[in-house]
Each structure stands twice: as C-alpha cells, then as structure tokens.
Structure 1
Amino acid sequence: MSRRPTRTVREQARADRRDRIDILLARYARHAPAEAALLRSLVEAEITEGDRFRREAGGQQAAVRREQQRVAAAEAAIVEAEQRAEAAEQALDACAYRDRLAEELLDRPTLLGNPRPASLDRLLDHVAEQLDHRAQQ
C-alpha cells in the first residue's frame, strides 16, 4: 500500500498553501504595494510553471506505466512461446523415439517371416498412446 496521500488530499493541501500565500501577499501589499505587486507576479509565475511541470510529469508517468504494461505483456508472451517451443521439442523427441522403437521391434530377426504377435501390437499401441499423451501436455 502506498504511503503517498491521495490526489485530492495533495490538491487540497496545494490549494490551502496558495490561499495562505495570497493572504500573506495581501498583508504585505498594505505596507509596500509596489514590492508586493512584483512579488505577487513572481509567485504567480512560479505557481503557473509548477502546474505545467506537474501536468507534464503526470503525462510522463502515465507513459511509463503504459510502457511497463507493454513490457510485462511482451515478457509473458515470450515465456508462453518458450513453453510452447519446449513442449513441441518434447513432442518431436517423443515421436522420434516412438519411430525408432517401432523400427527396432519390427527389424528383430525373430520376427522376420513370422506374423507379428498381438502382444507386440498392443505394446506399440501403448507406447504410442503414452508418447502422444506426453506430447499433448
């Protein structure tokens, strides 16, 4: 939680300070009208410039927040893309492993010329299902 006062509290405090400055300048004008007028113009110029800088800073802060959100979204997209790439690599590895295993099982000398046993078909189906399941995760 922020310790900074809310915007309305800050604006009210600023308005109160400006009211006190106006009162002090009015009192000073009773004793030295020429100097008070010069001082008032200087104070008003500083207040105007401070207001302008405050608006500019607010715009810059909003721009920084937007850029931070864009960077966070881009980083999240990168993480997601990396996860998908890793899953795709694992799926490719699983498919390659399944294909090698199937070739090895089919190329065994004991199977040549004989019908493939049903247990081998079930084993190949089971391995394919397991690898497909892993590839989808």
Structure 2
Amino acid sequence: MSLKYQEIIKSIDNCPLENEDGTVALYRYVNKPFLKTDFEPQAVIRKPKFSKDCNGWGLSTFKSTKSAHAILNCMPKFMRKKFNAVAKMEVANKDGVKYQTSGDINHYTYFPNDSIDLFSKFVIEDE
C-alpha cells in the first residue's frame, strides 16, 4: 500500500511503525466546514520543523471523542479559532497505517493511504 507522502516517509528510518490490525475509530479536531489544512500533517504545515520526524508525516488523531474534545478545549484561544469541531473515521487496514503514539494511550498517528479521500471518510460529529 502506498501512503500519502510515501517518498518522504520511506526516507525516515522505521517509519511508519507497525500497523495496528483491525478497524479503529479515530477522532480528529477539524473545522466545520472542512478546510484543506484539516488533513495535512504537521510536517507540511510547519515546515521544516517536523520534516525528519516520522509522526510529523502522519495525522494526529485520538482514540475517543472525549480525548479529542479535551485537547480542543485546552488549546490557546488563537488555536481554537482554527478548529471548531471533532470528526470521526472508522480506519480499516486498507485505509492506511495507524498506531498508538508512544506514551499516550489516547493518541494515535494515522498515515492515510495515497488514494483515500479523507474529506468523505471523516464525518463531523454532532455537537
């Protein structure tokens, strides 16, 4: 399976880590309505800061809506202006690589496959 940003990702040792098997519901804070930047990794948004960081090329996601909302609500005001909703996606093996980020049981890094349309796969939750 080819991932988004595959050429860069393969140049980083052990990136991405092993895929967690099975389907996992993952949550991400986003804009309502979606903006193009809602599904861009930190390595793209904040170049060059995360360009050599494997997890910087994946999407930051959460294992529960509660965790995603908690992070959203703790953001500084200037950041909360950028995000106003939480979206959910059922991520199956065919959708890319996902794994629990080291040290945080609620945080996942998700590397979407190259052909997936994240704008149609992620669904904004009701308030």
TM-score by length of 1: 0.19
TM-score by length of 2: 0.20
Which one has a larger percent helix, Structure 1 or Structure 2? 1
The higher relative CO (CA closer than 8 Å, separation ≥ 6) is in 2
Which one has a larger percent strand, Structure 1 or Structure 2? 2
